[in-house]
Amino acid sequence: MLLEIFDITLLKNIVSIFLVGFIIKIMDDIIDENHPEHLYKAALPYVILIFIISTIIEYKTTTGLFMASYIVGMYSDINDTLLTGLKGYQEAVIVAILGVIFLGRATFIFCLTVIIAVQLIDDVFDIELDKRLGHQNLAIKYGKVEIFILSLIFCILSLMLDPIKGLIVLCAVPIINILFNKLKGEILNCE
Amino acid sequence: MRIGWYLIGVLFIFLCGYGLGRRIGKKEGYSEGTAYAPIQLKQSYFENGECPVCCFKIDNDINDNV
């Protein structure tokens, strides 16, 4: 019985983390890249549908990871005035407060640390690409080794806070990246 | 749990040391480089008879005549 419950919980976590990973990746791609407008319109219903499915499966981790990625992604626009009329950092603070209220301090802090770890690793691997495209990147600003060590610290911290979910997220990231790039390549080739 | 904190502590100390060392090293390297560059440029000019910046070749015959 205990094993069954554990397996179902584990499976739920794996599926929901993979789905929300795709959502975050799509959101990131839509913001960073300049795809044709009709592709955004076509992607939006799928994005909402996948997000709803992932929240039905496991709402705490899913919403926590999404909110955390929203806060971390805000880094580049921290002082810009956004669509809501608020500054980037003000929105980040509001989302963080909502996250702590609705999801609990422990879950939200775990989500934030694991997303920071993933973002830092991403910055280290994307350093050459971002340099070529002229994008701002923490690894370019503070150094490759420094950011890599910082990402290791956040990886360990997230594994200490929630070892199972932390491991799932850290393993899911490269798989999602590969699958997403493959899928994106096929969609753009069809265009 | 304790091992995790130890690892974080070690990594944090390494991060501080590396970051600080790299920044100090960069500054020192820059000032050493700016002090050494004019000497190196002059040496290259006298050895090759060529401007190291624009690669203009100095004609030795003209210099001798002068």
pLDDT, tens only, A12-51: 889 999 999 989 888 888 877 767 777 777 888 888 999 9
Phi-psi region of A104 (alpha: psi -120 to 50; beta: other; left: phi over 0): left
Domain membership of residue B52 as a residue range: 2-64
Q: Is B59 a residue whose pLDDT tops 70?
A: no
Domain membership of residue A178 as a residue range: 2-190
Domain count for chain B, please give it. Answer: 1
**Which of A124, A141, A146 should one mutate to test binding to chain B, selecting the residue with the greatest count of B CBs within 10 A?**
A146
Domain count for chain A, please give it. Answer: 1
CB contact under 8 A, B15 and A146: yes
> pLDDT averaged over chain A?
86
The nearest CA of chain B is from the CA of A54 a distance in Å of 30
**CA A159: distance to chain centroid?**
16
Please provide the size of chain B in residues: 66
Residue of B nearest to A142 (CA): B19
Whole-number Å distance between alpha carbons of B45 and B57:
10
Number of alpha helices (DSSP H) and beta strands (DSSP E) in chain A: 9, 0
Distance set, CA A10 to CA A6, A57, A108, A178, B58 (Å)? 6, 11, 19, 23, 77
B51 touches chain A (CB under 8 A): no
* Complex ipTM: 0.76
Residue with tokens 């980037």: A88
The nearest CA of chain B is from the CA of A116 a distance in Å of 15
